[in-house]
């Protein structure tokens, strides 16, 4: 411990560091306080390395150059785009950690038009007065889903929260025990219900809920029947749930509002590409739900947002909820959504116009030839660090969409030599071409289905960079 303290007292002072000619140059280029803050961070890191014993008296303190280089690296990092692109080799199409959907060019164009200039976002052009920012997507959403009206908020969680708060606050909302689901950590139906201010009334059992369970639970205080799609798992075997259609008479008789959170919000029937059926928004509405909520960045493949469609009178009430101000979307989101929705007017073309549907629809032979191409290019570079081969595999939809069945795919399998798969995949992530892979049986796997053709060269560069550092 004492030798550690000895080291601490030998750390260069800020004054000494600021007198280094390289640092003085940095201070001419950038504000001094900006440079100083980064110098301080580097010093702090060295200090905690001393305290943790990582830097010992034996190893000695780093040279002055080290502080300067580290500071330069931090400056470079902080002045570049921190939300860097990533190459998704994980085989999870809607990867929440990687930003879920890659946007279509239609969405990108709409987004950049809105970003670069003023827009008519919340203005009524005719009168010049304040207009409704939701009007721009309303026609399309109603056309595509058959709804009377729509409303867009920050994500589906906000959509559910807004609907429950508007119609269930201080009243009872009934939900089946089979639908008290958790969707990725922070979205847990009981928690969301509690926070919305509604009183949760659970009915039925985990695997079976009957219409009479709902009927017996309705009281004068009941205002909502909530149904939640168990997006990320399936109950098989002895199982019964009550369809919305069966709840309609009860809702009408007792004046209740049926809210259906369908989660992934497919607008097209996914069976045409060999996937499992995922309830479409249109189907959920035609079953008789008053309000349907879904995500904008799951099967829609748009920007992060939550979409509420349903009865016009109810949507109008939701718009007046003070939470709406906190939940409303900005122009970037609403524009990107608009660019995305337009593609669904021509659903046959989706595999050409929408990157998510291109990934879903690509025949496995095409994916396999992409995997072969990656392997060919990897064999061209100096890569003494990993054996490369091809294998069959499965791509997942991700984000709690379609858990049951994946899509057949083709994998590039790297077996690293003298390095663990974890270390190798971490180095690939940290390269200048951040490549995300998955690990299977101690090998690093790149799923060719979630990789775009123009990303192949980046994969090669990422591997080359790791190989170079290692050699």
Ligand X SMILES: *Cc1c(COP(=O)(O)O)cnc(C)c1O
Q: Does 231 bind ligand X (CB under 6 A)?
A: yes
DSSP state of 260: E
Q: Does 156 bind ligand X (CB under 6 A)?
A: yes
Using CB under 6 A, which of the segments 104-112, 223-231, 345-353, 454-462 binds ligand X?
223-231
Of the chain, the end-to-end C-alpha distance in Å amounts to 37
Count CB-CB contacts under 10 A for residue 153.
27
Q: DSSP strand E in 241-349: where? A: 257-263, 291-295, 306-310
Q: Does 91 bind ligand X (CB under 6 A)?
A: no
Using CB under 6 A, which of the segments 216-224, 260-268, 269-277, 450-458 binds ligand X?
260-268
Tokens of 39: 């110098």
- The residue with its CB nearest to ligand X is 263
Using CB under 6 A, which of the segments 14-22, 44-52, 227-235, 381-389 binds ligand X?
227-235
Q: Rounded CA gap, 330 and 180, in Å? A: 31
Q: Does 263 bind ligand X (CB under 6 A)?
A: yes
Nearest Cα neighbor of 245 from 258, 256, 255, 230 is: 258
Using CB under 6 A, which of the segments 20-28, 102-110, 256-264, 378-386 binds ligand X?
256-264
Q: Does 229 bind ligand X (CB under 6 A)?
A: yes
DSSP string, 400-445: TB--S--EEEEEEEEEESSS-HHHHHHHHHHSSS-EE-EEETTEEE
| Minimum CB distance to ligand X smaller for 138 or for 261 | 261
Q: Cα angle vertex 131, ends 130, 134, to 5°?
A: 145
The DSSP H or E segment spanning 446 is strand 443-447
Cβ-proximal residues to 320 (8 Å cutoff; 6+ apart), any chain: none
Q: Residue 305 CB, nearest distance to ligand X (Å)?
A: 8
| Minimum CB distance to ligand X smaller for 156 or for 431 | 156
In this chain, which of 178, 301, 302, 306 binds ligand X, going by CB under 6 A?
306
Q: Does 400 bind ligand X (CB under 6 A)?
A: yes
| Minimum CB distance to ligand X smaller for 229 or for 331 | 229
Q: Is the CB of residue 386 less than 8 Å from the CB of residue 415?
A: yes
| Minimum CB distance to ligand X smaller for 190 or for 418 | 190
Q: Rounded CA gap, 465 and 471, in Å? A: 10
What crossing angle do the helices spanning 156-168 and 189-196 adopt, rounded to 10°?
Answer: 50
Q: Rounded CA gap, 198 and 216, in Å? A: 19
φ/ψ region of 399 (left if φ > 0, alpha if ψ in -120 to 50, else beta) reads left
Q: Does 150 bind ligand X (CB under 6 A)?
A: no
Q: Does 155 bind ligand X (CB under 6 A)?
A: yes
Q: Rounded CA gap, 99 and 221, in Å? A: 41
Q: Does 280 bind ligand X (CB under 6 A)?
A: no
In this chain, which of 75, 152, 183, 341 binds ligand X, going by CB under 6 A?
183
Q: Does 295 bind ligand X (CB under 6 A)?
A: yes
Q: Does 70 bind ligand X (CB under 6 A)?
A: no
In this chain, which of 228, 256, 259, 463 binds ligand X, going by CB under 6 A?
228
Q: Residue 345 CB, nearest distance to ligand X (Å)?
A: 23
| Minimum CB distance to ligand X smaller for 150 or for 383 | 150
| Minimum CB distance to ligand X smaller for 89 or for 303 | 303
Residues that bind ligand X (CB under 6 A): 155-157, 183, 187, 228-229, 231, 261, 263-264, 295, 306, 400
């Amino acid at each position: 411990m004492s030798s550690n303290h000895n080291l601490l007292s030998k750390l260069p002072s800020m004054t000494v560091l600021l007198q280094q000619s390289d640092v003085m140059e940095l201070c001419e280029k950038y504000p001094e306080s900006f440079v100083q803050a980064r110098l301080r961070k580097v010093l702090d890191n060295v200090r905690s390395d001393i305290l943790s014993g990582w830097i010992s008296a034996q190893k000695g303190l780093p040279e002055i150059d080290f502080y300067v280089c580290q500071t330069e690296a931090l400056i470079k990092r902080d002045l570049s785009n921190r939300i860097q692109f990533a190459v998704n080799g994980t085989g999870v199409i809607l990867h929440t950690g990687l930003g879920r959907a890659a946007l279509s060019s239609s969405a990108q164009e709409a987004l950049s038009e809105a970003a670069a200039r003023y827009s008519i976002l919340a203005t009524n052009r005719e009168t010049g007065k304040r207009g409704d920012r939701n009007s721009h997507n309303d026609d399309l959403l109603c056309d595509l889903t058959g709804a009377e009206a729509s409303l867009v908020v920050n994500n589906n969680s906000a959509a559910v929260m807004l609907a429950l708060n508007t119609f269930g606050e201080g009243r009872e909302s009934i939900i089946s025990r089979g639908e008290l689901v958790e969707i990725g950590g922070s979205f847990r139906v009981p928690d969301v219900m509690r926070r919305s201010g509604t009183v949760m009334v659970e009915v039925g059992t985990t695997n079976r809920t009957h219409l009479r369970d709902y009927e017996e639970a309705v009281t004068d205080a009941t205002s909502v029947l909530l149904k939640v799609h168990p997006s990320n798992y399936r109950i098989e075997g002895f199982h019964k749930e009550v369809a919305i259609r069966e709840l309609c008479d009860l809702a009408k008789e007792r004046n209740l509002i049926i809210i259906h959170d369908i989660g992934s919000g497919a607008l097209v029937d996914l069976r045409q590409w060999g996937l499992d059926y995922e309830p479409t928004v249109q189907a959920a509405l035609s079953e008789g739900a008053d309000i349907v909520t879904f995500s904008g960045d799951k099967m829609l493949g748009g920007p992060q947002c939550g979409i509420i469609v349903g009865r016009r009178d109810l949507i109008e009430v939701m718009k007046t909820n003070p939470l709406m101000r906190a939940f409303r979307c900005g122009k970037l989101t609403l524009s990107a959504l608009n660019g995305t929705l337009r593609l669904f007017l021509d659903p046959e073309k989706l595999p050409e116009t929408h990157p998510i549907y291109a990934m879903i629809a690509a025949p496995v032979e095409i994916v396999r030839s992409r995997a072969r191409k990656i392997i060919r290019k990897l064999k061209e570079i100096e890569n003494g660090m990993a054996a490369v081969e091809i294998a069959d595999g499965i791509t997942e939809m991700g984000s709690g969409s379609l858990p049951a069945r994946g899509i057949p795919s083709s994998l590039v399998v790297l077996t690293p030599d003298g390095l663990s798969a974890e270390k190798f995949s971490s180095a690939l992530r940290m390269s200048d071409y951040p490549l995300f892979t998955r690990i299977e049986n101690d090998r690093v796997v790149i799923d060719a289905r979630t990789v775009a053709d123009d990303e192949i060269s980046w994969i090669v560069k990422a591997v080359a960079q790791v190989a170079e550092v290692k050699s």
